[in-house]
Amino acid sequence: MTNIQPTFRALADPTRRDILLMLRDHDMTIGEVAENFDMTRAAIKKHLTVLSDGGLITVRAQGRERINTLNPLGMAPVLDWLTFFDAFWDDRLNALKSVIEKDNT
Amino acid sequence: MTNIQPTFRALADPTRRDILLMLRDHDMTIGEVAENFDMTRAAIKKHLTVLSDGGLITVRAQGRERINTLNPLGMAPVLDWLTFFDAFWDDRLNALKSVIEKDNT
DNA sequence: TTGACGTAATACCAAAAGGTTTCATATAAA
DNA sequence: TTTATATGAAACCTTTTGGTATTACGTCAA
């Protein structure tokens, strides 16, 4: 379980990443999110579904509205995957870093 | 500059993520990478092009071969973007913490 | 030089992705 | 109750994506 693919997929679209940044400030309904983009509510709804499938947001009903909330924990698996390269970085990134720093001085 | 989209896009495919993991151990030619998958060299070549566009690998010619090398620097922008949400998590956690502390006094 | 090998490049195809439109449904408000 | 609002859902369209097959080109080895 804990399939990482839906999360990577959710992060791959710029509109969805923008939505995540917006939700960082406060929860939003679908309509509120849609106001910030030049596309229909239906399109935004699809994006929110993808984000939900990726575990990056949670949705709760409140009357006729749907409140979308950021779930930062959903990013953990992605971060974990990326840190698989930590060992690699220790060896080569540091070497590169010192070269760059040398270049900037 | 430093457009992050090609990098997120490159990471969104499972085959490409597998390739990155393979390149962690050692550099590989296109043919060598292709041996590990049930698809044509041409398909693998396309994936490698996407990875290169995303800045996640570098390619150098060696005779008639193309050596593909992992580029850890390419992941930095993605990590930076994701850590934007670490701050979010810290904020929430700290807020919760202060509420609890307030509650206990 | 000849032939095998590794890759590049193009055309092509099916499926998925991102979007719109339309209509139905549930809830809020008058 | 009537009407407006917020969303859900399906059909549909276009572009992108992931893959194949084919052909051509540069390089290595006999």
Residue B51's CB: how many other CB atoms inside 10 A?
A: 27
Question: What domains, with CATH codes, occur in chain B?
Answer: 5-104 (1.10.10.10)
Mean local confidence (pLDDT), A47-69: 98
| pLDDT at A84 exceeding the cut of 80 | no
| pLDDT at B105 exceeding the cut of 50 | no
Instruction: State pLDDT tens for residues B27-55.
Output: 999 999 999 999 999 999 999 999 999 99
**C-beta separation of A41 from A34 below 8 A:** yes
Instruction: State pLDDT tens for residues A24-40.
Output: 999 999 999 999 999 99
| pLDDT at A42 exceeding the cut of 90 | yes
Query: Beta carbon of A49 within 7 Å of strand C?
Result: no
| pLDDT at B103 exceeding the cut of 70 | no
**C-beta separation of A30 from A20 below 8 A:** no
Mean local confidence (pLDDT), B9-20: 98
Residue A28's CB: how many other CB atoms inside 10 A?
A: 22
Nearest C-alpha neighbor of A25 from the set B81, B95, B99, B88? B88
- Residue type at position B9: R
User: Which stretch of DSSP H or E encloses residue B60?
Assistant: strand B57-62
Q: Which residues lie below 8 Å from residue B8, measured CB to CB, with a gap of 6+?
A: A11, A12, A17, B54, B78
CB of A93 within 8 Å of a chain B CB? The answer is: yes
Nearest to B88 among A72, A89, A96 (CB): A72
**C-beta separation of A63 from A53 below 8 A:** no
| CA of B38: nucleotide with nearest C1' | D19
Assign 3-state DSSP to chain B and report helix, strand, coil percentages, each to 5: 70, 15, 20
Nucleotides of chain D within 7 Å of a protein C-beta? 5-11, 17-22, 26-28
**C-beta separation of A93 from B72 below 8 A:** yes
Q: Two tokens at B54?
A: 């995303």
CB of A89 within 8 Å of a chain B CB? The answer is: yes
